[in-house]
Structure 1
Amino acid sequence: MAYSQAQPSAPLAVPAAIISPQFCAAYPVDLAVVRKVLTLADNFSVTDINGNIMFKLKGSLLSLHDHRVLLDAAGNPIVTLRRKIMTAHDRWQAFRGESTEPKDLIFSLKRSSMFQLKTKLDVFLANNTSEEVCDFKVKGSWFERSCTIYAGESSTIVAQMHKKHTVQSIMFGKDNFMVTVYPNIDYAFIVAIIVILDEINQDAKQN
């Protein structure tokens, strides 16, 4: 792309393109997350409201819970998600492509506190090395699929989850829910957060 995009006169309250500008839309994006409860591998996919695959998850059975790769619709790896072992607050890191090099870090995520009944997670972008104030915060109930993602410590909502009951979800054991990503927010970034949320929840169930 030879030309640069015109910058808005006022800075955005939240950084829009975190993974890539291609995942930012000027309108709200509704995504359906389909989780096949009864399978072990490739059990997580994200579609648009028409059922077209937008993202898939790849993970080997040997490292199912600490290393996952998010693929786009064409099967290209866009984010590698890795759990840091031996951390008290369930810290995860997200890297570009299939890298796990520090230079390719996009963001990290951790629980706000060790013991919590409700979901409360802090997200720090890679350039926020001090981690004194989070860049995004996740609050709500993962069990009820009613989490909201906010910009930093503000009340500005960037994405919301809500449960989706369908005939298919009842018949085929699929754990479906919808995510609405607000305009100009990187929806691949939001999906990456939701994948980590799901992994943390699966670990909690097994402990």
Structure 2
Amino acid sequence: MPERSPRKDAARNRAAVFAAADALFTHCQSPEDVTMADIAAAAGVGKGTLFRAFGDRTGLISALYEARLEPISNAVEGGPPPLGPATPPLQRVPALLDAVLCFKLDNRHLATALEGTGADSPYRTAHYERWHALLRDLLEQIPGAADTGFTAHALLAATRADLVAYLAGDKGVPREELRRQLAEFIAGILDTRARRGSAAEH
């Protein structure tokens, strides 16, 4: 009987853990209700396996979030328009934020759980810093730059997981309405910047 590959076992366990965590976060009342013990039991692995693989609950949530966000990250890094780097900043900024909003709508409790792991501040998580840096750099390419760092923070604040969960869940705002509202908010900010840049040139 051939020996099982530890690497294959680890990959299979990781997939089972991610699937179990996905299901638990999707159907929970609150992200805080989902524990490492719950995930281990649902995945059919021991708690020790989770801690060895991910370190702690924050590590597991971060790894799952990154895995689910990977298609968007790949598109941002080298994909075609509208998310890819060849897209002009005025079109790429709203496309990026729309993608973030849709991701958080589809992964509402997981995103809320991740934002709650940054020492009680979503702004201290690694993924937030990456998105902020990307948006700041894009805004710097649009004429009329004032404080691109603050503007990037303000734009990302409109896609915070707790706000998305409140509007979509508690207030029942439809998905397409949220996307429309976000697009209008972004357009207003970018239009103001573009007009300021045009005035400065004259």
TM-score (norm. length: structure 1): 0.25
Q: Comparing both structures, which one devotes a greater share of its residues to strand? A: 1
- Structure ID, larger Rg: 2
* Higher RCO (Cα < 8 Å, 6 or more apart): 1
Which has the larger helix fraction? 2
